[in-house]
Structure 1
Amino acid sequence: MTLENQQFIKSAEAAALEVLLHNSKGPFLDLPRTAGWGYPEPYTRDLLISVLGIAVTNNAELLQSVRHVLLMLAKNQSKRGHIPSLVHDKEDRGASDTTPLFLIAVGIFRKVAKEPHFLENSIKKALLWMEYQSPSDHYMVSQLPTSDWRDEQWVLGHGLFVNTLVHTYLKLFGNTESAEKLRQEMERPTFTSNRISNQSQEGLTIDHQPYYALWSYKVYSSERFDLLGNSIAILSGIASPSRAKAIIDWVETSCSSMRKTKELSIGLSPNFFPFIYPGDSDWFPRYTDFNQPGNYHNGGIWPFISGFYIAALVASKNYGLAEKKLLTLTKLIKAGRNKELEFGFNEWYKAQDGKPMGQDWQTWSASNYLYAARCVAEKRTPFFDSIRK
C-alpha cells in the first residue's frame, strides 16, 4: 500500500473515532446513540456489534460507554433471559439476534476489561434463553421473519446470521463441544420440496454452491447469498479454510458479473444477492417502499458488513484483497448525505450507483471500519483468531 493510501486510511480511522466519541452519549439515559443526528435511540444490536471496533481502540471513554450499555441491558433483561431491542426499553422485545449479540459483547468486554465474571448471572440467563430457541431441541436455533437485523426482510426458521452468532458465543465461553455440534448441523444440506432425505434435520449447506443458505426450515430454504452470515461463518471457523476460499472466490466472481450488468457500481459486495425483484416468489408488497432491488436489505452496501467481509478475508489470509477492499471502503465512507462532512460513515449505500441512502455517522459503520482497519494492519482478526483455533 502506498504511503498516500496509508495516510488516507489513518485519517478515516481518526474520523471513525470522532464519530464514536460523538455518539457515545445520547438523549436516553446517557446511552450511546445509533447515529450522529438520526437514530438518537440506543438500538441494542447496533451498539453490541459496535463493541468489536471499540474493543480494538482500547479507548477508556468508549469502553465505559460499552459497560453502561451492557449493565443497562442486564437490568432490562427479561426474567427468562431475553435481551430487549432498545437498551433502555425492557418492553421492546422480539429480536432473535439481540441475546446472542449480548453474549458475544460481554465475552469480548470481559477479555478487554480483564473481568472474567462480569455479569455472570445475566450470562447464565441469556444462555438458558438461547437453549430454548431450538424447536428441534438440538443446536441450531430458529427465528421469526424480520426479527434479526433485517427488520424489512423475511428470514424464516434456521437463519444463517443468528446461528453464526450462536457458534461464536459458544466458542467465546469455551463450550466447544456444543459449538462443534452446531457446526455439524449447519453443514447438513438444506432440504428441497422435491427431494426426500433420510437425514433427521435440515442444514444450511447448498449442494451446488460453496456458500451457506440464507435460511432453511424443513422443506423450504433461501439460496440467496447473505454476506454478513457467510463472513461470520468464515471468521468464527464454521467454514473450513477450503470452503472459506471457495466462498470468497464465488463472491468476487459474482460481483464482477454484477458490475458488468450495472447492478453494482463499486468494488464492494452488496449485503445480499441476487436481488429480489417484483414477481419473484419471495417478493413482498411492502418491499416496494422499503426494499427495492439494490436498496436497504435487498442488496444495499452496508459498511459494517463490508467490515466483517474484510475481516473474513484476513482470516482466510487473503491479505492483498483485504487491503484492496479496505481502500475501496475508505473511499465509499467519505460520501455522506451531509456534503460538509469529511467522512460520512453512512448507514448504507445504493448498489447501482454507490449513493449514501441512510443516516450519516452511523455508529456501527464507524466501529466496524476501525475493526477492519486493525485486521488489515495486523494481519489478524482480534477475538476471532482464538475462536477459529
Structure 2
Amino acid sequence: MEASKTSKILFRPEEYRALSEEERRLLADGYLRAIEVVRKNVTPAGFSACSLADNTVYGTDANYRSVWARDGALTALWTIDLEDEDIRQAQIATFDTLLDNQGPNGQIPANVHIETGVPEYAGVGGIASIDSVMWVIVGIVHLCEAREDWSLAERHAGRLQKAMDWLAAHDSNNCGLLEIPEASDWADLFGFSYHVLYDEVLWYRSLDCYSRLLDRLGENEKAEGYRQQTLRVRKKFMATFWPSTHTEEGAMLHSFTDAQYSLGDARYLVAQVSPFSFSWRCDVCGNLLAFLTGLLDKERAMMAFRFLWGSGVNDPFPVKNLYPPVQAGDPEWRSYYAVNLLNLPNHYHNGGLWPFVGSMWVRFIHRLGLPDLAQRELVKLAKLCQQGMSFPWEFNEWHHGMTGRPMGKAYQAWSAAGFIRACHDLEAVPSEISHAI
C-alpha cells in the first residue's frame, strides 16, 4: 500500500528528538503493521473483530467471526483519517450491517455473524449489550462529520431515533442516568451494574452527538431538547461519580444521607454507584474516556492521571483496564469470573492490559499537555503490540496485567485501529511515511 493512500497526517520530527532512531523506526513499523491488521479485518459486511484467517475459534469463541457493534464502531472511528478505499468502504458497511438488523424495539445487535448474517442481541446470560448501541450512534455522527457527507445518517435517521428511544428507556426512574444491567457492556463478564461509569460517559456522548445530527437534519427544536438533556446528564454524572465532601457551591456535606457512601474527596471517577453500594475501584477505561469526550475537566483529569501514574497502571505496558483487580473472596468477586478462566485477577476485564485502552491512555496524556511523556508511552504501546503468540505485531486483543504477555485473539481490529489513532493524535506518523506523501 502506498503511503499517499494511507494518511494525510504528517510526522513532526522536531518534536520527537527525545526518541531514539530505533524508537522512531519502531513507530514507523508499528503504524504500517497496524494498517495491515485493520485490512485483515475488512469483510464485505464490515470489520470483523479479529482476523478470520488467523484465529481458531472454540465453542463460544465463534462469535468473534462477526461484525461487532462496539469493535466495529471504534475501528471506524479510529481509522477515519486513513485514505484507504477498502477501509473506508468497511466503515460504511459496518454501520449498514448493524442497523439493517435493528430489532423492532430499537435495539441494535451486539454483533452480526459474518457467514450466516444472523444477529445476536444479547451476551452472557441473555443480557443485552447497552454500549453497542451508543458506540454506533457516536461512530456514525463522527464519520459523517469527518467526511462532510451525511448520507449514511440520513439513510438510517429513523433507526437512529429508535435506538435513542431504546437507550432512553433505560433511564427507568427519570434521573438522567441510565440504569445498566450487570455485565451488559464491553466488560461482559464483569459485575458492575446500575450507574456504571463507562456507560454513563457514553450516554452523555451519545446525547451530544445525536443533538448535532438532528441539527444537521434540520430538526433544531428537537436538537435543543437533546442539548438540554446533555447538560442535565453532565451535572448528574459529576455529582454521582466524583465523590466530594463539598457541594458544587462549596458548602460542606453534613447529612447522613449525603455522606453515607462518601469516599471523602475523590482523585478519580469511581467505577459504579447504586442506591445500596458503590465500587471504589478505578475503571481506567472509563476515566480516560470521560476526559477524551470532554465530560471530565482538565483539573480533575490531572488528578486522575496522578493517581493512575502513581498506581502503575501503565506497568509493564499501557494499560490495565481496572485498578486494583478483584481478588477471589472480595465482596465484588463473582463466581462467573472463572468462566473460561477469563476474569482471574490480572486477566481480561479484571485488570488485564488492553491495547485499545492503551491508545486512549496515550491520547489522554497528550491532551493533558504532556507531549514528551505521551511519546514515551506510545513507544511502550508499540512494544506491547509488537508481541505475539506466534508472530511479531499480532496486535492481540489483551495481555496479562502482570507479565504483559499476549493472551487474547491475534490481529484484533480495535487494537490496531487504536494504535493508528494514537499516532494521528500525536502527529506521529513516522518520517518514512510522511516523506512519501
Which bracket does the TM-score occupy, shorter chain normalised? 0.7 to 0.9
Q: Choose from 346, 349, 358 the match for 1:294.
A: 346
Show the counterpart of 1:114.
148
Within a 5 Å distance, the mapping from 1:248-259 to structure 2 comes to 248-255=305-312
Rounded to whole Å, the distance in 1 between the matches of 2:421 and 2:271 is: 24
Q: Deviations over 1:258-307 (max 9, x none)?
A: 7xxxxx85142311011111110111223232211111111000000111
Show the counterpart of 1:385.
none
8 Å CA contact 2:189, 2:349 repeated in 1: yes
Q: Deviations over 1:295-340 (max 9, x none)?
A: 11110000001111211122222212211111100011111111xx
1:170 aligns with 2:227: no
Rounded to whole Å, the distance in 2 between the matches of 1:206 and 1:368 is: 33
8 Å CA contact 1:189, 1:206 repeated in 2: no
Show the counterpart of 1:47.
72
Question: Structure 1 residue 120: deviation in Å?
Answer: 1.5
Rounded to whole Å, the distance in 2 between the matches of 1:9 and 1:69 is: 28
Question: Structure 1 residue 63: deviation in Å?
Answer: 1.5
Within a 5 Å distance, the mapping from 1:345-364 to structure 2 comes to 345-364=395-414
Rounded to whole Å, the distance in 2 between the matches of 1:313 and 1:178 is: 29
Q: 1:303 to 1:267 in 2, by over 3 A?
A: closer
1:89 aligns with 2:118: yes
Q: Deviations over 1:158-206 (max 9, x none)?
A: 1111111111222223343322211111111469xxx83259xx99x95
Question: Structure 1 residue 10: deviation in Å?
Answer: 1.7
1:330 partner amino acid: A
1:34 aligns with 2:49: yes
8 Å CA contact 2:45, 2:67 repeated in 1: no
8 Å CA contact 2:41, 2:49 repeated in 1: yes
8 Å CA contact 2:45, 2:97 repeated in 1: no
Rounded to whole Å, the distance in 2 between the matches of 1:171 and 1:317 is: 25
Rounded to whole Å, the distance in 2 between the matches of 1:47 and 1:346 is: 16
Rounded to whole Å, the distance in 2 between the matches of 1:250 and 1:48 is: 30
Q: Choose from 21, 28, 39 the match for 1:21.
A: 39
Question: Structure 1 residue 208: deviation in Å?
Answer: 3.3
Q: 1:82 to 1:196 in 2, by over 3 A?
A: farther
1:7 aligns with 2:20: no
Greater Cα offset, 136-145 or 223-232: 136-145
8 Å CA contact 1:267, 1:328 repeated in 2: yes
Show the counterpart of 1:100.
134
Q: Deviations over 1:333-357 (max 9, x none)?
A: 111111xx23110111111111101
Q: 1:279 to 1:7 in 2, by over 3 A?
A: same
1:266 aligns with 2:316: yes
Query: 1:286 aligns to what SS in structure 2?
Result: helix
Show the counterpart of 1:149.
186
2:371 partner amino acid: Y
Question: Structure 1 residue 91: deviation in Å?
Answer: 4.6
Question: Structure 1 residue 72: deviation in Å?
Answer: 1.5
Question: Structure 1 residue 80: deviation in Å?
Answer: 2.3
Q: Deviations over 1:110-137 (max 9, x none)?
A: 1133223522222211121121111221
| Structure ranking higher on relative contact order (CA contacts 8 Å, 6+ apart) | 2
Rounded to whole Å, the distance in 2 between the matches of 1:207 and 1:81 is: 40
Q: Choose from 338, 343, 362 the match for 2:393.
A: 343
Q: 1:198 to 1:280 in 2, by over 3 A?
A: closer
1:326 aligns with 2:378: yes
Q: 1:91 to 1:268 in 2, by over 3 A?
A: closer
**Structure 1 residue runs of 4+, over 4 Å off?**
none
Rounded to whole Å, the distance in 2 between the matches of 1:76 and 1:177 is: 31
Show the counterpart of 2:247.
none
Rounded to whole Å, the distance in 2 between the matches of 1:100 and 1:144 is: 15
Q: TM-score, structure 2 length as denominator?
A: 0.78
Q: Choose from 343, 349, 367 the match for 1:315.
A: 367
Q: CA RMSD for the aligned pairs?
A: 2.4
Rounded to whole Å, the distance in 1 between the matches of 2:140 and 2:361 is: 23
Rounded to whole Å, the distance in 1 between the matches of 2:173 and 2:83 is: 41
Unaligned runs of 5+ in 2: 1-18, 56-63, 123-127, 213-225, 244-254, 430-437
8 Å CA contact 1:251, 1:269 repeated in 2: no
Q: 1:111 to 1:180 in 2, by over 3 A?
A: same
1:8 partner amino acid: L
Question: Structure 1 residue 6: deviation in Å?
Answer: 2.2
Question: Structure 1 residue 241: deviation in Å?
Answer: 0.9
Q: TM-score, structure 1 length as denominator?
A: 0.87
Show the counterpart of 2:236.
185
Rounded to whole Å, the distance in 1 between the matches of 2:72 and 2:355 is: 15
Rounded to whole Å, the distance in 2 between the matches of 1:198 and 1:44 is: 38
What is the number of equivalent residue pairs in this alignment? 362
Q: 1:277 to 1:89 in 2, by over 3 A?
A: same
Rounded to whole Å, the distance in 2 between the matches of 1:2 and 1:178 is: 48
2:350 partner amino acid: N
Greater Cα offset, 266-275 or 358-367: 266-275
- Of structures 1 and 2, the larger Rg is shown by 2
Unaligned runs of 5+ in 1: 259-263, 380-389
Question: Structure 1 residue 89: deviation in Å?
Answer: 3.2
